[in-house]
Amino acid sequence: MTARYAGLILNLFVRITVLYFLGEVLLFPNDPRFAGKAIPIRNFVIVVSLSFLFPVFHFLRRRWSRYPLWLDSLYLSIFWLDMAGNSLNLYDTQFYFDLIPHFHGTGAIAAVLFGAFGASPMSAVGLGNIIHMLLEAQEFYTDVLFQTHNVRGTFDTVNDMVVGLAGAAFYVLVYLLARRRPRKAALEEPSARR
C-alpha cells in the first residue's frame, strides 16, 4: 500500500467519522454527553465549513499541485479528537482529558500552517497559539453569555494555554525534523554509490 493510498483511506475515515459525530449530536442533543455545551451547533459549523478548508484551497484556489492528504487529515484530526472526546464522554469522565485535544489541536494547526500554508516555524507556533487563544476566549464567553459549561475555572484555561504552547512547539519541531530526514538521506545516497 502506497503512502498516498494510506493517506486517502485515513482522510476518508476521518471525514466519515466526523459526519457520524455530527449525526450523533443532532439526533441526541440532550444526551448528558452533549447537553449544555452547544455541541450540536459547534459540530454543525465544523462539518459544513471548517472541514472544507483544504478542498476549497485546493480545488478553487489551486494552492497545491497535489492534494495534501496527510496534512488535511492532520487538520481534520483536530475536530475528530474533540468530537470523539464528547462522543465517548471523556471530557466529563476523565478530568485531564481536555489537555490532550488542546495539546494536539494547537500543535496540529501550527504544523498545518507551516507545512501546507508556508508559514515560518515561529509564525506557525505564534499563529497556532493565537487561534488557540481565540478558542479559549470563545469557550469562556459562550459560558458567560449562554450559560454553557465548557470551562471549569481559571486553572482550566491556563493549563489549556500552556499545553497548547507546548503542543505547537513540539509539532512544528517534529515536522521540521521529519522534513530534513529524507533530504539528508537523499544527499548521502550519491556518495554511498561511489
Which pLDDT belongs to residue 185? 46
Cβ–Cβ contacts within 10 Å for residue 67, how many? 18
User: Is 44 in contact with 58 (CB distance < 8 Å)?
Assistant: no
**Domains held by the chain: number:** 2
Average predicted confidence (pLDDT) for the chain: 91
For residues 73 and 12, membership in a common domain is answered with: yes
In angstroms, what CA-CA distances link 101 with 60, 107, 167, 174? 30, 9, 10, 18
Q: Quick one: which of 48, 49, 69 has its CA closest to 58? A: 69
pLDDT tens for 82-123 read: 999 999 999 999 999 999 999 999 999 999 999 999 999 999
pLDDT tens for 123-174 read: 999 999 999 999 999 999 999 998 988 899 999 999 999 999 999 999 999 9
For residues 87 and 108, membership in a common domain is answered with: no
Which pLDDT belongs to residue 181? 75
- How far apart, in Å, do the first and last CA atoms of the chain sit? 32
Which pLDDT belongs to residue 182? 59
Select from 91, 109, 135 the last residue of a domain.
91
For residues 58 and 107, membership in a common domain is answered with: no
Select from 91, 124, 149 the last residue of a domain.
91
Which helix (H) or strand (E) segment is 122 a member of? helix 121-146
User: Is 53 in contact with 59 (CB distance < 8 Å)?
Assistant: no
Select from 76, 91, 106 the last residue of a domain.
91
User: Is 47 in contact with 18 (CB distance < 8 Å)?
Assistant: yes
| Residue-range definition of the domain harbouring residue 121 | 95-180
Alpha carbons 176 and 122: distance in angstroms, whole number: 12
Segment 58-83 shows an average pLDDT of 94
For residues 99 and 81, membership in a common domain is answered with: no
For residues 3 and 87, membership in a common domain is answered with: yes
For residues 105 and 172, membership in a common domain is answered with: yes
For residues 130 and 59, membership in a common domain is answered with: no
Which pLDDT belongs to residue 109? 98
For residues 75 and 127, membership in a common domain is answered with: no
For residues 27 and 67, membership in a common domain is answered with: yes
Which pLDDT belongs to residue 166? 98
Segment 42-60 shows an average pLDDT of 93
3-state secondary structure 61-111: CCCCCCCCHHHHHHHHHHHHHHHHHHHCCHHHHCCCCCHHHHHHHHHHHHH
Residues above pLDDT 90, as percent of the chain: 80
For residues 7 and 69, membership in a common domain is answered with: yes
- Give the pTM: 0.89
For residues 79 and 102, membership in a common domain is answered with: no
For residues 87 and 126, membership in a common domain is answered with: no
User: Is 116 in contact with 68 (CB distance < 8 Å)?
Assistant: yes
